[in-house]
Structures are given as C-alpha cells and as structure tokens.
Structure 1
C-alpha cells in the first residue's frame, strides 16, 4: 500500500512539473494554434513517454536495440527536466524584477514631451507627408477626428518577459545537461588518495590499489566507455585493481562484448571484483562467471592474502533475496588480526560490520556522489559517507563517485573518478 501511494505521489508530481514546464516554455511564449505551440505540446507528451520506456524496457525484456533507442532521449530528458525546472524556478524571482524595470523605462519614455522640432508649426503642404510618415490620417494631423484603424504592436511586455526568461532558462538548463553529458562521455579522471594504515608493514608501504566502481555498462555506455576506463587504469600502473560493483545494467548476452576490454587490465597482484546491487538486477551468477573468464578474481564473501595485508570482499546487500548476501564471518572470520585488512564492499552502509570485524580500510562505491546536483544531499542522507575518505573508529572508509552513470549519462557536481589508493605504513 505504501509503495502504491508513493508511486501515485511521484506520478502526480511528474504531471505537475511537466505542466509547469509546458506553461512557461510553450503556453506563455507561443500563440494559440500556432505551429510552435503544437510542437511544444507534442514534445511535452512524447518525451516523458520515452523516459518511461527507457526505465522499463530492460526490466520487461525488450530487445536490446529497442532499449538503446529509448535510452538516449528518454534518460537525457530526465536530466533536462530537472535542470530546466530548476532554471525556471530561478526565473520566477527574475520575472517581476524584469517587468518592473521595463515598466519604469516605458514610464520615463512617456514623460518626455515633444522636442522643439516636433512642436514647431508645419508648413502648408507638409501635413499629409508628416501624417503619412507617422502612419496617421491627415485629418488627425489637423486636430480633426481620424478614421479608426488597426494598430500593429510588437510583443507585449508580458510576452517579452516570458520569452526572455524562458530563453535564459533553456540555455542554462540544456547547457548544464550538455556539460554533464560531456563529463561522463570523456571518461573518469584519476584521483589519488594516500591512506595510512597502522598495521601495514614497512614492506607494503606505497602499495597502490586502483579502485573503480559503478561503471554501469548498458544501453547507453558500452564498449568504448569500458576501453577508456581500462586504458586510464593501466596508465596508473597499480599494484592491484579493485572493481567494486555495479559493473553492468543488463545481461551477459547483451553486454558481453561491452565488457571484453576488462581482459586487458594489468596489475602486479591482479584484478578483483565484488558484486553491486545492479549485478543482482541483471543476473549475478552469469556475470560472476563471465568476469572470471576475463581474468578478474571474484571475491564472494572470501579473502586472499596480499603482500602485507588481507584483501576481503563481500557480496552486495541486494543478494540477500537470493541467499547470496554479505557474510562477514566467512570473509573475515578466523584471520590474523595483527595483519591489516582491506575490504571491498559495494555499499558504504555496511561500515558498521566492517568496524566490528576489525577492518582497517573499506573501499566502496554505490553513491555516485549524488551524480546530479542536488542529489548529493540525498546521497549524504542515505549513506554514512557519500564520497571521499572518512574514519569510523579504527576503520577508514573510502567511497568512490564511480566511473559511469546510472540512468541519464549526465553528471553535475559529482565528477566520475578512478581512484588510486596508496597505502602508507606508519613504520616507514
């Protein structure tokens, strides 16, 4: 029942927002019955339908070509709707100021009387020419009554303001979306973070882990995006690579070619993988087997000993519905606690379990850093850490913003990243 009420509330909100956007961009700026109004009205009906299709096509098993056809316009419209609406709301504050300014300027113009040349008496024979130049009747020029005639006026003050504010909002909103899409498609940037670990031996000082999460290969981001990520990681020459969940949004049959570049990953101690929630939406078991075939080592509630520390990985919380959720006892139980432990866990919310198990450093993703401002505020409410490095007791948590994007291929205020985490020994 709660889900139904929430769905209805979201639907009502979306209808209201689309109505508001139509009114400000179309209703207030175009003539009734005109082609521009008809085109704008069709767009306001069609674009949300494309967004709905993009959201549900994968879940209902639509052909992959159809998912791709719907994804670009459908997802981009969701981002555009957000920033167009925000820009219009800012415009609501500007609108009355602009109206008052125009009214004041027009009022000052009306107070200015005729100049000396205009007030001088006209010579005989020039009345008709002057009247014609002013588009008035010669009778009116002599002070007599003029025949009624239609007056052609330019856009009204209200229409001018609507078009000026709407145009500025369109430029701001669509410009933001365009830059946000570019920031995703150019690929993630490299961040470098040094994390001191009290138990790390001197021999492991400077050990570098390349952390990548939330690549979200699917109908929008494909093989070319994977190749950019692989090339970026390999250029950092890490000692170990950690792929921390949400690699894909789709099946192995559809996305197998898109992930193939992962076989090119190169690190002295190998590449490791843990599941994210989206793997369970897409079929986790086939994907775990597939990444193993590509040369990655899945850590399914288990650990391995690396030079100077233990590397553990747990399944994502979303696997609980399939009996494959995180098991910290299996992954971390019975180990030598004098050794440092690094945990790969997709969601930051398991940090309390990591603390209880004596983990020194947890590496996570999932949040995207909010992806679309002001989504960062929601991410901060839903997660202990939305992005970056923080300490919880004796455990440190690092959260990557991710290397891709879910839904709209757009990031605003939350740039994508691949993080090279350099471990530091306090004994060095």
Structure 2
C-alpha cells in the first residue's frame, strides 16, 4: 500500500512539474530574448509557486503549527488557482497562435523582373510558386517573439482577472439563494417555513473569524425559522480555530440551529468539534432525529466517519419514525441520497460539491456526485445541494458563486 501511494504521489508530482514546465516555456522562455533579469524572475516564480502550493497542502493536512499554515496558505493556494487558469489561458492561446502568425507575416514581394498580374494589368494577383529547390523562408525571430508576447500577455491577464474576481467573490461573503420546495406530507400550517442551509464554510488558515461573522450576518438577515449547517465547517483543530468559529454562537432562528459532520471534520478532530459546536449553541445530529412541530428533522454522519467507526446510520436516524410525517434529512454528501430514498425521506439537504468551485471542476464534481448544485428529484425524494459558503484550498470560486440557501417549504 505504501509503495502504491508513493508511486501515485510521484506520478502526480511529475504531472504538476510537466504542466508547470509547459506554462513556463510559453509565458517565460518564449517571451524573453535569452537569459536575463526577466527570464530569471519568471523562472523563480514558476519554481516558488508550485513549491509553496505543495507546502501549503502538506502543512494543512499534517497539522503543522498554525502560524506556518497561515504563512504558506495564502500564496500557495492562490498559486494553485492561478496556475490552473494560466494553463487554460495558454492552451486557448495555442488555438489562436497560428492565426496571429499568419496575420503578422509580411507580404512576400514578387521576384524582380516578374511582375504580378495586377502590376501588368492582367487581372488579380496570383502568388508565383517558388522554383524547385528553393528553401522556405526562415521564421522571423522578432515576429515570433511578438506573437508569443501577445498570446502570453492575454493569457496572464485573463488568468489574473479570473482569479482576482473569484477571490473577491469569496471574501466578500456568500449571497442568498431562495428556493421553494413543495412537500406532499407538509401540513398547510407550515407553508412558508424557512430553512437556512449553510455548508462548506471551511474555516481555516485562510478564512477566519471575520469570514465566519460575514456568514452569520448573512444567515441571520434572512430571518430563518431553522438553520441547517450541513458539514465541512472547519479545516483545523479546535485549538487553532475555536476563536474563528466563535461567531457561530450568534446564529439565530426560532427553531434553533442544527449541525451534521462533513468529511473535513474527520480530518480535524470530529469529536472535539462536535463538543465545541454544542457549546456554541448548535445542536449536532449524529445519526439522530428530532420532531419539530411540522416535520421530522434528521441528520446522519458523513461517510468519512466510517474511518473512525462513526459512519452514517440511516436506520438509527430514520428507522422508527412515523412515515405519515414529512421528513427533512441533513446529510453532507449528495451520494447519500440513495439511502435517503430507501428510508422514504422527503427532502435531503447537502453540500460537499462546492458546485465545482473552480471551473471546469464542475465536470469532475458531476462525475462523482448525483447532483452538483440545486434541486433535483430522486423518486419521491428531493435533493437540494448547496454550493457552499466558503472555499477549500484557494479562497477562489469561478463559475460556482458561494451561497447561503433559504429553503421555503410549501404543502403540495
């Protein structure tokens, strides 16, 4: 197993190195006139960037001192996003490079003593074929350098603008999405019951206390009847992130705030976080159910909990409930919908996917999840997947804006 992991790690590192070399070649080597300050600066950037990126990943997962995680995370994770869009920009540039080469090519003058048909007044000009044995004209180095700089400049500008806009979108806090969900078993008295769904806040070395406060303010402003925090709240220990999570104590809803674990809680000390969350006034639903005035609210642990013997137990959470009552289930991962259907759940609320977070990540997310974002129906069960409030890794989203969703229930 160790050998397989080592081989996979080496393959990943080789792929990362190869892609960085390709982008360096197009953005640095092809745009400079040989060794010099500009090429040295660009090369330094393309060496330091991936080193910081890998260091940020390793220190976060290894639980390194929090000051070191914070030092490495900002440059390392931002480089991760920037490298992706530099690569996409360079690949797009390959498509237009031939056209630019053709447009920038100077016209070939007619051979001396052999005027074109236009010059002799005999109709449209026709390019004369070169005599046999004539060597093709060598590419002009100045023209090639000009085209490379144009393509590289456009790719770099587009990548920087994309990452800058996507980072601003995360740091300013999530926007509110409103969705009406009709439930057949819901009594008419529950019409308009509002559930604020919050997922994937990912407090950590990048997103801290200030971000948590923006999320809390956004949720409270919707004046929900109930708050559902559906996992991946943190990326780190209670010792390091307890102060960052403190604003959650100010979450306010008439029927309270509830929490279920996500996979990242099991990387961060799930038991300690469950106690911390309880102290903050949220109620953890660990394979448990509570009866609210209009429907049952249940929650199951994340699939990752199986590694600690604390996986999801649908039978414990749902096995003895009254099937005549509507049931809303909190489950972090959308893949848990299949068990929810078996147990007759009316609505499952999930997160986990981030909506893909960084396009074209949505394509990968779609391959691993039944629903990437939004509301879909599976038999008699509906599944709503939030794109999440925060971000993992790069504090950046492209094509998948962060959100807090207000689910408004309605009888059907």
TM-score (norm 1): 0.87
Equivalent residue in structure 2 for 1:412, among 392, 398, 410: 398
Distance 1:179 1:65 in 2: 27
Q: Helix, strand or coil: the match of 1:273?
A: strand
Does residue 1:194 correspond to 2:196, yes or no? no
Look up the SS of the partner of 1:359 in the other structure.
coil
**Correspondence for 1:372:** 358
What residue in structure 2 maps to residue 293 of structure 1?
279
| Structure-2 separation of matches of 1:322 and 1:282 | 12
Of the three residues 232, 252, 268, the one matched with 1:246 is 232
Structure 1 position 276 matched with structure 2 position 278: no
Contact 2:277 2:284 in 1 (8 A): yes
Give the match's secondary structure for 1:337.
coil
Partner of 2:158: 172
Candidates 81, 89, 92, aligned match of 1:90: 92
Partner of 1:311: 297
Farther off after superposition, 53-62 or 307-316 = 53-62
Alignment match, 2:221: 235
Distance in 2 separating the partners of 1:15 and 1:28: 18
* Corresponding residue number in structure 1 for 2:206: 220
Residue 96 of structure 1 deviates from its aligned partner by 1.1
1:336 alignment partner in structure 2: 322
Provide the rounded CA distance (Å) in 1 between the counterparts of 2:280 and 2:63.
Answer: 26
Q: Please tell me whether Structure 1 or Structure 2 has the larger radius of gyration of its CA atoms.
A: 1
Answer whether contact 2:63 2:236 (CA < 8 A) is retained: no
CA drift at 1:40: 1.1
Distance 1:99 1:33 in 2: 24
Residue matched to 1:142: none
Q: Deviations over 1:135-185 (max 9, x none)?
A: xxxxxxxxxxxxxxxxxxx97000000111100110011111111101111
The corresponding residue for 2:134 is none
Please give the per-residue CA displacement for 1:99-153, whole angstroms capped at 9, x wherever unaligned.
11111xx217x57x9xxxxxxxxxxxxxxxxxxxxxxxxxxxxxxxxxxxxxxxx
| Corresponding residue pairs, total | 383
Match for residue 423 of structure 1? Answer: 409
Instruction: Please say if 1:107 is aligned against 2:107.
Output: yes
Match of 1:45 in 2: 47
Query: CA offset at residue 401 of structure 1?
Result: 0.4
Please state how far the C-alpha of 1:3 moved relative to its aligned partner: 3.7
Structure 1 outlier segments of 4+, above 6 Å: none
Deviation at 1:363, TM superposition (A): 0.2
- State the alpha-carbon separation in 2 of the partners of residues 64 and 11 from structure 1: 25
- Find the aligned partners of 1:292 and 1:179 in 2 and give their Cα distance: 36
The farther-off stretch of 8-17 and 289-298 is 8-17
Offset at 1:306?
0.8
Q: By how many angstroms is 1:12 displaced?
A: 1.8
Matches within 5 A, 1:19-30: 19-30=21-32
Task: Say whether 1:400 aligns with 2:402.
Answer: no
Superposed displacement of residue 33, structure 1: 2.1
- Partners of 1:7 and 1:193 in 2: CA distance: 42
Q: Distance in 2 between matches of 1:55 and 1:94?
A: 35
Q: 2: CA distance between counterparts of 1:329 and 1:235?
A: 36
Alpha-carbon distance between aligned partners in 2 of 1:182 and 1:26, rounded to the nearest angstrom: 27
Q: What residue in structure 1 maps to residue 119 of structure 2?
A: none
Unaligned segments of structure 1, at least 5 residues: 114-153
**Cα drift, residue 7 of structure 1:** 2.5
CA distance in 1, matches of 2:333, 2:6: 27
TM-score (norm: length of structure 2): 0.91
Cα shift at 1:191: 0.3
Counting only pairs closer than 5 Å after superposition, residues 138-149 of structure 1 correspond to structure 2 as: none
Structure-2 separation of matches of 1:97 and 1:206: 57
